[in-house]
Every structure is written in C-alpha cells, then in structure tokens.
Chain A
Amino acid sequence: MRVLRRIGGRLLASLPALLGVVVFTFLLMRVLPGDPAVFFSSGPNAGQAEIDAVRKDLGLDRPIPEQLLRYLYDVGTGNLGRSLTTGQTVVHDLGERLPASLELTLCALVLALGLALPLGILAAVRPGSAIDHAVRMVCTLGVCVPTFVSGLLLVYVFYVQFGIAPDPTGRLDIFAASPPDITGFLLIDFALVGDWEGWQAAAAQLVLPALTMALFVLAPLARMTRASMLSVLGSDFIRTARSIGLSRWRVVAVYGLRNAILPVLTIIGIVFSTMLGANVLVEKVFSWPGIGSYALDALLASDYAPVQGFVLLMAAVFVMVNLLIDVLYGIADPRVSVA
C-alpha cells in the first residue's frame, strides 16, 4: 500500500516535467522552418486564398499563446490532433505503431541481456583472459558498426545468401493473415488465438531486426556488467562468502551477481528508452512500421501533430521506464526505497 502511494507520488511529481516537454516541443515545432499550410495546400501553385484557408482551418492564424493553450487543452483531453499525412488521429496512429516498436525493442533487449550478462560475467570472472579480450572485441564491433550497416549485413547473409530469413519487409509477410487485433503485439496475439504457424512467421520476421538492435546495445550492457561484477567480486563480502566454504559458482551467482546487477539496472532503463525512440534506422532498413519512422516521416512533411505526439509519448515512456527501474531497484537493494 505504501509502495503504491509512493509510486503515485512519483507519477504526480513527473507531471511538471511532462508539461515542460509539451510546451518545449510545441515551441520547437513553431520555430522550425517549413509552413504546413503551404505544404498541405492542394499543390505548389495553390493561390494565397487557398493557403489562408488551410491556415485558418489548422488554427495557425491565431496568436501563438492561444495556439499553445488550445494545444494544452487538447492534450489534457486526450486529443493529440490529426496527422495530415495519414489522415488519421495521432492517437490512433501511435496506438497502432507503438506495439510494433515495443515488441521489437523488448525482444532486442531480452536478446541483448541474454548475451550481455553471461559475457560480462565471464569477462569479469577471468579478467585479462582470452574470454575477456573476445568480449571486449565483440562489444567494440557492436558499437562501431552502425545499425544500418549491421542490419544490411545480416539481411545480406541470412536472406540473400542463405535464404534462411524471410524478406525484411515489415512485421508479417504481406500474404500472411494477420491475427485479430487484441494487444497489437503479434507474438502475443498469435499465441492467444493458438495460431502457431503465424507465430513462427512473426517471430522469424522479428529475429533479424531484433538482433541488429541487440548488437548495438550489447556493448554498454556487457561492459557495465563486467565493470560492476569486477568491483563486486573484489569486495570484502565476497572474501567472506569464500571463507565460509561456498562454491565458486554460488559465490558468483548469489553473492556477486545480485549486487552487481544494480548499476546494470540503471543502464537497462536508459538503453530501453533510447532504443524505443532511436531505432529509426533499424525500422527503415527492415520496413518496420514503428513509431520512430512514423515521427521521422511526419517531421519531414512538416506535420506538427504526430511529432509532438511522439515526443510526448517518449517522455511518458521514459518516466514510466524510470519508475519501473526504481521499483526494481528497490526490490533488488533493500537500502533503496522508492522515494
């Protein structure tokens, strides 16, 4: 109960930050070059009268403070405006694309953790060994090869050369049947209706983009695990654990890992938020219908509402992820309380 109250307090405390984000993006979009009224008039030779009509229609003829107030009111009532490129409401568009991004990011994160934690631990248990150097090399490669290069390489090897992977065009083969829209997460939806063939198809589409992203974030996770594990393994209580006759494996897993995971948790939170918004390149390479490429397209088209909606969504996700990390931190470390 107390924990819930504290979480509520934390959410309340994040409202000013969110408000700041809204105002900031609003102003930013207004000072960026490009006039949406011109852009969305019927053609390049549209008359001034038509442009004025569009501008009036969009509310762009009013003073900026009034526009801001209207915008804030709309955000408060859950109306993020309408995208001029897709013709749909921004809420609808984001709701459709967020699951795609989340599914990809989560899978990539799980994959990255599955690789980074064992690698980091191995490197820390035997510092200076061949394993340590191999891990360092993998991490360096992961960081210095841009995602669009590694993504294209993976596509080339597994799709073009070996033909194991399906063609990199979105979440599902165009000819495959989509599952009913329950959660928006294809893997979950397919599993819910028991369509395992579809599940496999969706999973196959997911592997390459997820791997591309995982490789990119492998380095911070593995290096952090190694550093944190090294410092923990050098501490006094590890010596105590050895002095009571615990086996090496138990010392590393029970006494070492739980202490070493704390700084890694913080990094996970940061990595996750970054991946969600910044994987535009991966989304583009694999034609993934995610929110990153959606926002990029809108920005290029001077379409204000989706970009503002995207930034607001990312800010909200960031707040939620940080809160979740703090709660996990509180569970993992009794010295910390969710404040």
Chain B
Amino acid sequence: MTAPLLSVRDLSVEFRTRSGIVPALKHVSFDLAPGEMLGIVGESGSGKSVTAFTLLGLLDRAGRVSSGQAMFGGQDLLRLGQGALNELRGAAMSIVFQNPRTALNPIRPVGVQIADVIARHDAGSTATLRARVLDALRQMRIAEPERRASAYPYELSGGMCQRIGIAMALACAPRLLIADEPTTGLDVTTQAAVMDVFRDAVRRGGVGTIFITHDLALASEYCDRILVMQSGEVVEDAPVAEIFTRPRHPYTRRLLRSTPSSVDVIDDLSPDEEPLPPAPPRGDRLAAPVLEVRGLSKSYAFARPRGLSNFWKPRDTAMLRAVDGVDLVIRPGEAVGLVGESGCGKSTLSRMINRLIAADAGEVLLQGTPIQRISPGRFASLPQRRLIQMVFQDPTESLNPRFSVFEAIADPVGQLLPHEGRAALRARVERAATRVGLPLALLPRYPHQLSGGQKARVGIARAMVVEPRLLVLDEPTSALDVSVQAVVLRLLTRLRREEGVAQLFVSHDLNVVRLLCDRIIVMYKGKIVESGTAEQVFNRPAHDYTRSLLAAIPRLRGQRALGAT
C-alpha cells in the first residue's frame, strides 16, 4: 500500500461549555490514501463535522485539541499556526460545506468568490484569473459560465450554489478534500446530479476525499471505504463492500436496520423496538372519505404588490400556478404520501387542506362538509379544526421555547375545547403523551431540555391531543437522525393502526414514504402526475418524472434496485 495522504492518529478534541469540558472526539485514528473516497457516517453529535473542522483548523474558539496528530504532506496539521494553515487551506486541502446557500457570501458575485481562492494561492493576470474561474465553472457542468459567474447566490438554486461551493474547493487542485454533508437539504434529483459532478471532478483530479454524511445509502453509493462514528469514537472502519454485508459493530448494525431503504416493510425497521400491532384489514375502500379535495388551485403573482408609485399601471398578470387543479381523496385510517421536489406545490397543497391559506378555486370537503369558504382565520376557532391537525417539519423550530411540554400539548385544547375543566385537560394531555411514548416526567420540561426525538414526540402529541381524524405531516422526520426517524416512523404507524387516524405524509424522501404509506401521490409543477398504491408507483411508475425520481434515490450497496422486481 502506498503511503497515506492523511494519517490521523489518536485525535481527541474537547469543548469548553458552561457545564464543564465535554469530549467531542476520543482517540480517533484513520488513514486516507491518495485518490480514495472515505465516507464518515454517524448521527448528529458523533463528531463527524468536528473531525473535519479540526483537520482544517476551523474549530470554534471553545474547541481544543487535547491529543493526537494528523500528518499531511510531512506536516502535523494540528501543530500548525493559522498563518501556515492559511497557506494550505484552499490550496492543498479544502472543504465543501453543508447548506450551500449560507456558505456563500450573499453580496459577492459567485465568480468573484471563486476568484478569491485562486488569487489567494496562485495569483495571475486578470485574464488568466477569469479564464480559470470560467474553467472551474465548466468543470462543474454549469451552463453559460460567463453569465453565472456574475450571479449572486440568491439568484441561483441550492444545487447550483453547491456546485459553486465545490468549484471553490477544487479551484486550486487540492490533494485533500473534505465534504461535510454537501447534499443535505437538496432534492434527491439535485443530490444525484451534484454528487455525480462531485465524484467525477474528484476522480479526475485524483483527490483524496473525506465524505461526511448521515445517509448510509448515499455513502455506500459513492465511497470506497466507510468509517462509522458514534459519540466521538470510530466504531468501525471497513471497505464499503464489507460494511453492508458483514457489519461487525452492533452500532453499525443498528444504524443499518434504521435506514428506511434497508427494509421492505415498516415492521422490519429497527426490529428491536416493541412490535407494532398488526395492520387492520383493509376493508375501508368504500368508507366515507375523511377528506376530499376537488380541483384545488392556488396561484401566486410574480409581480410586486401595487404601491403608490405604480397604481396607475395595468396589473401585471404573470402568475405562478403553485397548485393546479388537484383532486385527492383520503379515507379513514389511510396513509397517503405526497412526494415531489421543492417548489412542486406540495407544501402549498397541504396548507390549503389545513386552511392555513385560502385556495383560489376548488373544493375541500372535510367529512363531507365543504370548508373552502371558511376564511383561514375563522377556521382556526371552529370545532372542525379538531378534525385536521398538523405536524411540522422541524420539531425544534415549531415548539415555543417558552412553553413547557405540558403547555405545548395543552395549547390546542384550550383553543378547540375551551369548556374542558382542568382535571379533564390534564388527563387528556397525559393520555396523549402516553400514546406517543413520552414519559410523563418530561411534561414540566422546556423544549431545550429535550432530545430531538422527544421534541418530535411532543409535536405529534400536540396534534393528537384533540383526537383528529386526519394528520397532515409536513416532512416530520427530515430533521431527525436515522435511528430517531425510525422510532418516529414506527410511532406514526402505531397511531394509525391503533387509532385509525388518516395521515397525509408530505415528504421528499421516497424511501420513507414507501414504508409508511398505502398510496403515493407524485406532484410535479403543481399538478399530480402519478397516483397509485406504493407498490404500483415504485415498481411500475407511469410518468417520466416518477422514474427519474426513483432513479435518483441512493441505494444501499447490495440492495436490489428499486423498481426491478
């Protein structure tokens, strides 16, 4: 074996916090060969990003390296000062960050930001600089590089911004590249495109790459070797072919079993958990629908609203049809998955169903009663509001930090069932908490004292407390780690099987939707392009868009391709 490009030995990092010194990395050791792509996977708090930032000397002030060395090009990166690191950063080693939009300077044209890297490390004439910037953009397969170079980040899509980020990292032909969750938050199709561009550029340059991700399937598709980290330690380090077929460490095995793409039915996901009740017989084909939507539409104007300065001009009629004549039926106890890329109108649709916003046209029938004429503001205080409840995307952001868990869960009761007494209210809240598996001891706590999974349970309990017949779930697990996600998915299935509450599950993650839902609806540009049972949509997709969506899903190695039975 050739000498490693990077050799990390016994690396330990600790953070000073208010509650004392917290170890973040414990004796981490690994090697990276030139041109190799090494995946680091693990859940949040496992130390993946801390490893990356430590190697580049980008740790926060609070972080401190307590032991270890990281040999790169004959130098120990951990002993270098910021000045020496600045010579290396961007040139010999570089990094691609998460959240491409915020990782770029919002008020500097992206071409100039790429030029900043090149000018810093090998300055040349303006003409060569310009040529190299355009070349870097072309390498990322960005069409019309001249025009794109003068664009600002806000004018570009998330995927395009990440290509810029990768172009910046690769502009000075580094030997070591670290990619820290580069595609988190991007659509699957965009993710696939960005990852392909990324892999090709890295291969062409023979760059040794550390690819940090929480997505095992994604890592298995692109990496040569995988490092599994758990609470600051490396628990497994094996070639990708082995780690998925013969995982040695129990944590790796647990992680694998929590990954939705590794199983066929929800009952197999994290099977160590308490077994799920059996699915009730599906004899509800003819039951009266809990929700019926007919020809629902919503458009947004492109033009700015009229102000004083343009009131005499004719109205600009260009409209974006966010949701365009959508029909939908959900029967009691049914789970319907609504998938599509960002901007396809799925969130707008779910908000119209909830009466959070008003529709332009169409009908919404809740248990047979039309509700589309009721204004969103008034609907909030009507008894029918009880029937539909919503679970939001980010469990942290959607809880009021000043409300205790009890207050958060009791909040909708006070609004929708105002005549309930204190004792009844307490009993109701405790019942809801128990149903979602939230220990009653947590009720007086505040959100910041809870884990991510507990916060997700609070969000679900708050929706379930008024005994709705339909839950609208807007990407409820996208902010969660896989093991927590598995638990939440099982909880949602349990609620549906035991209580018969119907669920509309809005998500971009087809693997999750496949496990959870009976029927799947695919939206594309405001229209429903495909709808059918989960089995149909996955195995016999009818629409081209569905096919491209399925093709873009990362798969675990060794898993049969989706759609090929």
A residues near B (Cβ < 8 Å) are 9-10, 12-13, 16, 235-237, 239-248, 255, 258-259, 332-335, 339
Contacts and interface: CB of A to CB of B under 8 A. Distances in A.
A236 B56 contact: no
Contacts of B58: 239, 242-243
Contacts of B307: 13, 339
A133 B151 CA distance: 41
Contacts of B107: 258-259, 332-335
B183 to A, nearest CB: 16
Could you say which of B90, B152, B165 has the most chain A C-beta atoms within 10 Å of its C-beta?
B90
Nearest to B91: A245
Interface stretch (B94-102, B209-217, B437-445): B94-102
B103 interface: yes
Could you say which of A244, A246, A258 has the most chain B C-beta atoms within 10 Å of its C-beta?
A244
B424 interface: no
A248 B91 CA distance: 17
Given A242-B58, A245-B86, A236 B102 contact: yes
Interface stretch (B13-21, B116-124, B485-493, B545-553): B116-124
Contacts of A241: 105, 116
Contacts of A243: 56, 58, 89-90, 94-95, 97
Contact of B103 (A239, A245, A332): A239
B300 interface: no
Contact of B105 (A12, A247, A259): A259
B86 A13 contact: no
Given A13-B307, A13-B309, A236-B97, A246 B86 contact: yes
Contact of A237 (B90, B103, B304): B103
B104 interface: yes
B102 A244 contact: no
Contacts of B102: 235-237
Contacts of B157: none
27 contacts: A9-B309, A9-B310, A10-B309, A12-B309, A13-B309, A236-B99, A237-B104, A240-B104, A243-B58, A243-B90, A243-B97, A244-B89, A244-B120, A245-B88, A245-B121, A246-B116, A247-B86, A255-B105, A255-B108, A258-B108, A332-B107, A333-B107, A334-B152, A335-B106, A335-B107, A335-B152, A339-B304
B403 interface: no
A319 to B, nearest CB: 13
B87 to A, nearest CB: 7
B423 interface: no
A335 B154 CA distance: 7
Nearest to B95: A243
Interface of B: 56, 58, 82, 85-91, 94-95, 97, 99, 102-108, 116-117, 120-121, 152, 154, 165, 168, 304, 307-310
Nearest to B52: A243
Contacts of B99: 236
Contacts of B116: 241, 244, 246
Given A245-B87, A335-B106, 16 more contacts: A9-B310, A12-B309, A13-B307, A237-B102, A237-B106, A239-B97, A240-B168, A241-B105, A243-B56, A243-B89, A245-B121, A246-B90, A258-B108, A259-B106, A334-B107, A334-B154
A214 to B, nearest CB: 29
9 interchain residue pairs of minimum CB distance: A244-B90, A245-B90, A9-B309, A245-B89, A236-B102, A13-B308, A244-B117, A245-B86, A237-B105
Contacts of A12: 308-309
A75 B350 CA distance: 56
B120 A246 contact: yes
Contacts of A258: 107-108
B94 A244 contact: yes
Nearest to A238: B105
Contacts of A333: 107
Contacts of B152: 334-335
Contacts of A13: 307-309
Nearest to B100: A236
B309 A242 contact: no
A242 to B, nearest CB: 6
Contacts of B309: 9-10, 12-13
Nearest to A240: B103
A134 B296 CA distance: 61
Nearest to B178: A243
A239 B90 CA distance: 12
A30 to B, nearest CB: 29
B198 to A, nearest CB: 17
A243 B120 CA distance: 12
B303 to A, nearest CB: 12
Contacts of A245: 85-91, 117, 120-121
A242 B89 CA distance: 8
Contacts of A246: 86, 90, 116, 120
Nearest to A17: B308
Contacts of A239: 58, 97, 103
A236 to B, nearest CB: 4
Nearest to A6: B309
Could you say which of B86, B91, B310 has the most chain A C-beta atoms within 10 Å of its C-beta?
B86
B75 to A, nearest CB: 15
Contacts of A242: 58, 89
A328 to B, nearest CB: 13
A16 B106 contact: no
A248 B106 contact: no
Contacts of B90: 243-246
Nearest to A247: B86
Nearest to A9: B309
Contacts of B105: 237, 240-241, 255, 259
A239 B120 CA distance: 16
Could you say which of A236, A240, A332 has the most chain B C-beta atoms within 10 Å of its C-beta?
A240
Contacts of B308: 12-13, 16
A335 B151 CA distance: 11
Contacts of B87: 245
A239 B307 CA distance: 40
Nearest to A8: B309
A235 to B, nearest CB: 7
A240 B165 CA distance: 9
Contacts of A16: 308
A52 to B, nearest CB: 45
Contact of A240 (B86, B97, B120, B154): B97
B163 to A, nearest CB: 14
Nearest to B153: A237
A259 B106 CA distance: 8
Could you say which of B105, B106, B168, B310 has the most chain A C-beta atoms within 10 Å of its C-beta?
B105
Nearest to B87: A245
Could you say which of B99, B108, B121 has the most chain A C-beta atoms within 10 Å of its C-beta?
B108
A332 B121 CA distance: 27
Could you say which of A237, A258, A332, A335 has the most chain B C-beta atoms within 10 Å of its C-beta?
A237
B507 to A, nearest CB: 26
Contacts of B304: 339
Could you say which of A12, A239, A255 has the most chain B C-beta atoms within 10 Å of its C-beta?
A239
B157 to A, nearest CB: 16
A333 B106 CA distance: 8
A29 to B, nearest CB: 28
B90 to A, nearest CB: 4
Contacts of B108: 255, 258
Nearest to B151: A334
Contacts of A259: 105-107
